[in-house]
Chains A and B, each alone.
Chain A
Amino acid sequence: MTEQQPDPKKILFLNRRAPYGSSLPREALDAVLMASAFGQEITLVFLEDGVFQLKKQQDPSNIEMKNFSKTFGALALYGVESVYVEQRSMEKRGLTLDQLLIPAKIIQSSELGALLEEQDQVLSF
């Protein structure tokens, strides 16, 4: 650990892209892990196609990519427990909570605004 320990910041990661088609989701997750190593107070929000990142049963072995979705399961060990999926994004895509890899809280878009306002910074991916 570094010598100086400034107060942790509230950082929200806003994830809006589907996995594999773009590398942004994987790169976002790397940034989340780094932020947790820095001891920051992290919130993850999955919105629009971003909710597909949490789908169970991902297996990109036949497209020769790494299955980064396994890392979501380790987030709790890194102290990242505040995970939200936006309700309408889930409904539109026919997804339910039991199809997701990790426990996530459903949030309405109207509540999401307040959650964003509470943060020190918001990083969009």
Chain B
Amino acid sequence: MIFSLAIYGAPFSSQSSDTAYQFACALLEQGHSLHRVFFYHDGVYNGSTLATPPQDERNIPASWSQLAEQHGLDLVICVAAGLRRGMLDATESDRWEKPSHNLEQGFTLSGLGQLIEATMVSDRMITFGN
């Protein structure tokens, strides 16, 4: 079965991205496919490569990144919601003449159309609210 997930909670603030991550691992283990994980609202912070939790704690952005690499996942951060909250890749950083960028490997910035497309093509769209 084809799943997509929408995540609206900030990591380390709300449990929603932890739950979504465990859910993603479980569905992949069962052989389902994960079409896309779409990060919107405060969920965009899941893509910050600058997140620096203490070493004995889980690093949520790094966990997503590793999962994406293992399974070829499409981790999409809404570009409008992301830019507002300071989530920039190299291209956006150049465009807006910012001093740095902070998108974790495996994540991409893209439009809200990716949420709707995922809703259209997936058998199950699961929202993990904040």
Contacts and interface: CB of A to CB of B under 8 A. Distances in A.
Interface of A: 6, 9, 11, 23-24, 27, 30-31, 34-35, 37-38, 40, 121, 123-124
Contacts of A124: 127, 129
B116 A31 contact: yes
Given A27-B41, A35-B116, A123 B8 contact: no
Given A24-B41, A30-B80, A6 B120 contact: yes
Given A9-B119, A38-B120, A123-B127, A31 B112 contact: yes
Contacts of B31: none
Given A30-B80, A34-B113, A38-B113, A23 B41 contact: yes
B79 to A, nearest CB: 12
| For the complex of A and B, 7 pairs with smallest distance between CB atoms | A34-B112, A35-B116, A38-B116, A121-B125, A121-B119, A34-B116, A9-B120
Give the interface size bracket for B toward A: 20 to 34
B115 A31 contact: yes
A27 B40 contact: yes
B117 interface: yes
A51 to B, nearest CB: 19
B6 interface: yes
A24 B8 contact: yes
Nearest to A38: B116
Contacts of B80: 30
A25 to B, nearest CB: 11
A37 B130 CA distance: 26
Interface in B91-130: 111-113, 115-117, 119-122, 125, 127, 129-130
B129 to A, nearest CB: 6
